[in-house]
Structure formats: structure tokens, C-alpha cells
Amino acid sequence: MFDSGGYNLKLRDFADMKTDMTGSSTVYGLMNLIAYHKLKGHYIGLLPIVENMVNEHASRPGDIVKSYNGKTVEIRNTDAEGRLIMADALAYSEKYKPQIVIDISTLTGANQYFFGGKASSIMGNNNKLIQKMIQCGKENNEHIWEIPMWSEYVDATKSSLADYTNDSNEISAGTIMAGAFLSNFVPKNSHWLHIDVAGADYHENGTEIRFSGSNGVMLNSLLCFVKNKHCID
């Protein structure tokens, strides 16, 4: 909900980190819209909600924690906390045997730097669904760009001390590596889309199609995806 960076304290002004709850608010909003429109189907929203603050219970760099599915994770950076709770949510979702899993978050500052706050990135394990989501973005004036998740990135999430590490010491592709880390926790046999809206979710000044402040980016595209029953043929 608020990301101070933990022991890896953010060095700049981070008053805007109140917007780190954007992913959860988007899921909450989408579930309400699905109910409002009485859309047929079986939809489940999971909201992992925490504060990333320093206290006597805070994780420290070098700690090894056990995730929901029993896999261990070496914490190299406490500011990469979002992917830890999202990994647990993805692992937890397996109990529902989902056909499609979509996660959305303000996951990486690198996404903002890469797109200048103008676009969201998407990656996953089903190119057909990725392209359908991108098309929904075009229909709703929301820029979505696919980024790769090659095996070299996934391999770099492995740790010599645990099963995985939450921050690669080898590859600096922050946005890609966050998604690659999450790929290790996706339910078996599920189609998966990962969307990073960092930077695109909040604008100091509004535009013709976006409010100033938190702007609900991707909510329309997600609703489009669901309303048009974009499922596996």
C-alpha cells in the first residue's frame, strides 16, 4: 500500500508511493465493474495488501523467506517487495484452477523510465492473449507494449542460496526481471498476463483523456478484455 523501500530506503522524494496501491485498487474496481455489468463467468480478485516500512519485523537484505508455495526466496533488495506479495497471490490462485491469470501492479520504477510514464508493459505465456489485451488498449486510448521474457531472464532469477532471488545481481533489466521472477509462481496449466503500470498510473497534470493524479489506467482495457469474452478458442 505504501512503499518506503524498507531497509533499501528510497533516496528521492517518495511521497508519490501512496500510489503503490494502484494494482490492488484496479483489481477492486474491476471486480465491482464485473458485478455492475452482471458479466457471466467465474471471476476472482486477489489483493495482497502490505506496507513496506522499516520496523522490528521488516525483512533485511540477505534474508531468505519461504513463499506461499514453499519455494524459498533470497531478498537482495527490500525495495523489490511488490513481487514477493504478488508471487504469493499467484501461487495462492492455483487453488481455484484458473484458466487465465492476470496480475497488474506498479511494480518497477524501470517501467516509468522506459516509457516516460506514457505506457504500460505486458508480458506472459500466451501471445494470443497478450495481443488481445494490447488491442483493448488501443480501443481505450491506453498504450500497452509487449516486452520479452526469454529463458535467460528466468534463469537469472535463480539463487545459489535459495530457490530464487527477488533482485538479479546479473541483469539490470528491472521491468523484465520482475516479470521473470513472477513467472516462477504462475499456476500450472494457466494462461498468464503480467501488466506493469508504473509511471502510467499517475500524472501531475491531466490531459484530454486522463485525469491528473491517479488516473485508473488499464481499468477500461481490462473491462474490455473481460466484456468481449477474450478467452481461449
pLDDT in tens, 47-70: 999 889 998 999 999 999 999 999
Looking at residue 228, what is its pLDDT? 87
Do 80 and 167 form a contact (C-beta atoms < 8 A)?
A: yes
Do 81 and 54 form a contact (C-beta atoms < 8 A)?
A: no
Give the residue among 214, 206, 211 at the shortest CA–CA distance from 16. Answer: 214
Task: Please report the sign of the dihedral spanned by the C-alpha atoms of residue 114, residue 52, residue 16, residue 144.
Answer: positive
Cell 491528473, residue? 212
- Residue 60 annotated as catalytic: no
- Residue 118 annotated as catalytic: no
Looking at residue 173, what is its pLDDT? 92
Looking at residue 16, what is its pLDDT? 79
Residues 28-45: what's their mean pLDDT? 96
Say yes or no: domain 2-227 is CATH 3.40.250.10. no
pLDDT digits (tens, 9 = 90+) for 118-153: 999 999 999 999 999 999 999 999 999 999 999 999
Report the length, in residues, of the chain.
233
208 falls in which pLDDT band (50, 70, 90)? low
pLDDT exceeds 60 at position 233? no
Collapsing DSSP to helix, strand or coil, 103 comes out as strand
pLDDT digits (tens, 9 = 90+) for 63-90: 999 999 999 999 999 999 999 999 999 9
Cell 481461449, residue? 232
Which of 18, 71, 83, 158 is an active site residue? Answer: 83
pLDDT exceeding 70 applies to what percent of the chain?
96
Residues 26-53: what's their mean pLDDT? 95
| Global confidence as pTM | 0.92
Give the residue among 128, 129, 112 at the shortest CA–CA distance from 120. Answer: 112
Which of 10, 76, 132, 210 is an active site residue? Answer: 10
230 falls in which pLDDT band (50, 70, 90)? low
